[in-house]
């Protein structure tokens, strides 16, 4: 296919009849027609039928290469047979007893083994629960009330996490030197919001000032080691090591929120990748290959606050389905070259995208890690969430939507990275992703140029008329 044909061709229209019917049906009983705000796209809401490997099919049988992977949990691929077979075998024995199975024990042994720094851990059902319990544990252990979190980082949807998460207008975050606590949505009590102190990622000077001013009441810093809610913005060299030293200096705990990075960046997660030993960690997503498995864990002296001094429970915590999925998924990550395959596949995709992007002359940066990366149209390497506003995110969103129409599905929001799974290495998926990106990118640039020419023509006409 020639470049000219790619820039002028239009993708076939996606079939939407069945999904529109489902949307109008669902909207009567599910707010927004979905079970999550993040899936509610109005009449464009996608209703899924099935997935296999690195591909998914919607209810109208449109086929896509999946670059969302459920926001990251599907590390091996949809319908991975070893994981599903083990889960099916175990679940036939019964699922929920509110009693402890051997798989629960084995799953947490694997978390401790793979991370190398976690001494004890407990299971939850979601990453939201994991970060909520990690924060509570930190407050209990230190006897302090406040938690520092970084602007633009996402730690779930409990009240303590929904502060300064993802506004479009950076002015809402306040002055760069004195960020404000911005609650994401209504219903969060001021008393809760006031226990969260927003900080700027990669800014050690500001963090030290916060510690010096309020350190006596700061229980912990919670951090996504890589900004999964901003295309995977990376820490600057030495940031995590310096933050680790600073938290120790002030007696503040360090919580690594590895819900997205855990068992994806390395077998021991981002803590291994960056060479850091946090005090507490939270895990979910990749640990269960899509099943609802999550956990929090850390130092023995901190975790030993449980069960006598700190509340944690949940009828479905450690249910047999989740525990079995975690056991088999973590064993595969430990015993095979799955992660090496994923990382190599991500690098191959990036190499192909460079060949598309470089000739355009449009500035761009790959953010994140090959297993979880973004494409940010920006001159300089971003270091914090506020830099996202400086990028041409409208260009990215248009390209993403164009890819969707051509048979590949990244999240149509420039803040969400692409997630790579082991199954993406199969067949010609990498070549297809690059080709689809190229077609969408060139078509978007052509549309922009046409729009610019139309505006110039209109302005010239007005001047002539004047």
Structure tokens belonging to residue 106: 């084995």
Structure tokens belonging to residue 12: 């076939």
- Residue 438: enclosing H or E segment and its boundaries? helix 429-465
Task: For residue 419, give the 3-state DSSP assignment.
Answer: strand
How far, CA to CA in Å, does 319 sit from each of 100, 134, 163, 249, 359? 8, 20, 30, 39, 52
How many other CB atoms are found less than 10 A from the CB of residue 39? 15
The verdict on whether omega for the bond into residue 232 sits within 30 degrees of 0, i.e. cis, is no
Under DSSP, the state recorded for 164 is S
How many other CB atoms are found less than 10 A from the CB of residue 213? 11
Under DSSP, the state recorded for 234 is P
Is 285 among the catalytic positions? yes
Is 201 among the catalytic positions? no
Nearest to 243 by CA among 202, 199, 301, 196: 202
Under DSSP, the state recorded for 59 is T
What are the b/e assignments for 156-170, b being 16+ CB within 10 Å? bbbbbbbbbbbeeeb
How far, CA to CA in Å, does 145 sit from each of 179, 191, 367? 19, 11, 34
Tokens 């060949």 sit on residue: 355
Nearest to 382 by CA among 365, 361, 370: 365
What are the b/e assignments for 299-316, b being 16+ CB within 10 Å? beebbeebeeebebeeeb
- Cα 101 to Cα 387: distance, rounded to the nearest angstrom: 46
Tokens 């990275």 sit on residue: 417
285, 291, 364, 385: which one is catalytic? 285
- Cα 70 to Cα 77: distance, rounded to the nearest angstrom: 11
66, 103, 257, 279: which one is catalytic? 257
Is the sign of the CA dihedral 202, 208, 213, 216 positive or negative?
Answer: positive
> Please, which residues have CB within 8 angstroms of residue 237's CB and are 6 or more apart in sequence?
none
- Cα 206 to Cα 212: distance, rounded to the nearest angstrom: 10
Under DSSP, the state recorded for 235 is P
- Cα 113 to Cα 220: distance, rounded to the nearest angstrom: 24
Structure tokens belonging to residue 24: 């109008």
Is 390 among the catalytic positions? no
154, 160, 385, 396: which one is catalytic? 154
- 98: exposed, middle or buried (Cβ count in 10 Å: 0-12, 13-18, 19+): exposed
List the catalytic residues: 154, 257, 285
């Amino acid at each position: 296919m020639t470049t000219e044909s790619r820039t002028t061709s239009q993708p076939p229209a996606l079939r939407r009849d069945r999904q529109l019917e489902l949307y109008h049906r669902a909207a009567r009983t599910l707010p927004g027609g979905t079970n999550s705000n993040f899936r509610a796209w109005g009449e464009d809401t996608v209703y899924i039928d099935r997935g296999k490997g690195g591909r998914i099919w919607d209810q109208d049988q449109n086929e896509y290469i999946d670059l969302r992977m459920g926001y990251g949990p599907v590390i091996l691929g949809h319908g991975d047979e070893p994981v599903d077979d083990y889960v099916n075998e175990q679940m036939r024995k019964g699922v929920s007893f509110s009693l402890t199975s051997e798989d629960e024990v084995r799953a947490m042994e694997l978390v401790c083994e793979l991370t190398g720094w976690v001494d004890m851990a407990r299971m939850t059902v979601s990453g939201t629960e994991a970060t909520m319990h990690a924060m509570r544990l930190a407050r209990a252990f230190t006897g302090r009330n406040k938690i520092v979190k970084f602007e633009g980082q996402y730690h779930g949807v409990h009240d303590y996490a929904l502060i300064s998460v993802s506004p479009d207008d950076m002015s809402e975050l306040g002055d760069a030197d004195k960020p404000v606590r911005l609650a994401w949505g209504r219903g969060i009590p001021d008393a809760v919001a006031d226990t969260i102190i927003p900080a700027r990622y990669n800014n050690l000077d500001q963090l030290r000032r916060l510690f010096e001013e309020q350190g006596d009441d700061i229980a912990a810093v919670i951090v996504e080691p890589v900004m999964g809610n901003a295309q995977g913005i990376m820490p600057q060299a030495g940031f995590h090591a310096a933050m680790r030293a600073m938290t120790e200096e002030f007696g503040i705990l360090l919580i690594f929120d590895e819900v997205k990075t855990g068992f994806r960046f390395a077998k021991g997660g981002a803590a291994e990748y960056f060479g850091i030993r946090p005090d507490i960690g939270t895990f979910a997503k990749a640990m269960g290959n899509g099943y609802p498995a999550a956990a929090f864990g850390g130092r023995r002296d901190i975790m030993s606050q449980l069960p006598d001094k700190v509340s944690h429970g949940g009828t479905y915590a450690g249910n047999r389905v989740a525990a079995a999925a975690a056991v088999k998924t973590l064993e595969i990550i430990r015993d095979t070259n799955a992660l090496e395959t994923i990382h190599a596949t991500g690098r191959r995709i990036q190499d192909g995208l460079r060949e598309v992007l470089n000739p355009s002359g449009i500035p761009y940066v790959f953010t994140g890690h090959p297993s979880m990366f973004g494409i940010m149209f920006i001159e300089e390497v971003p270091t914090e969430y506020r830099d996202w506003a400086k990028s041409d995110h409208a260009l990215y969103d248009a390209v993403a939507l164009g890819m969707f129409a051509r048979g590949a599905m990244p999240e149509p929001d420039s803040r969400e990275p692409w997630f790579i799974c082991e199954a993406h290495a199969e067949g010609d998926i990498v070549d297809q992703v690059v080709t689809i990106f190229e077609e969408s990118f060139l078509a978007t640039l052509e549309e922009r140029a046409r729009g610019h020419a139309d505006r110039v023509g209109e302005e010239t006409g007005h001047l002539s008329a004047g």
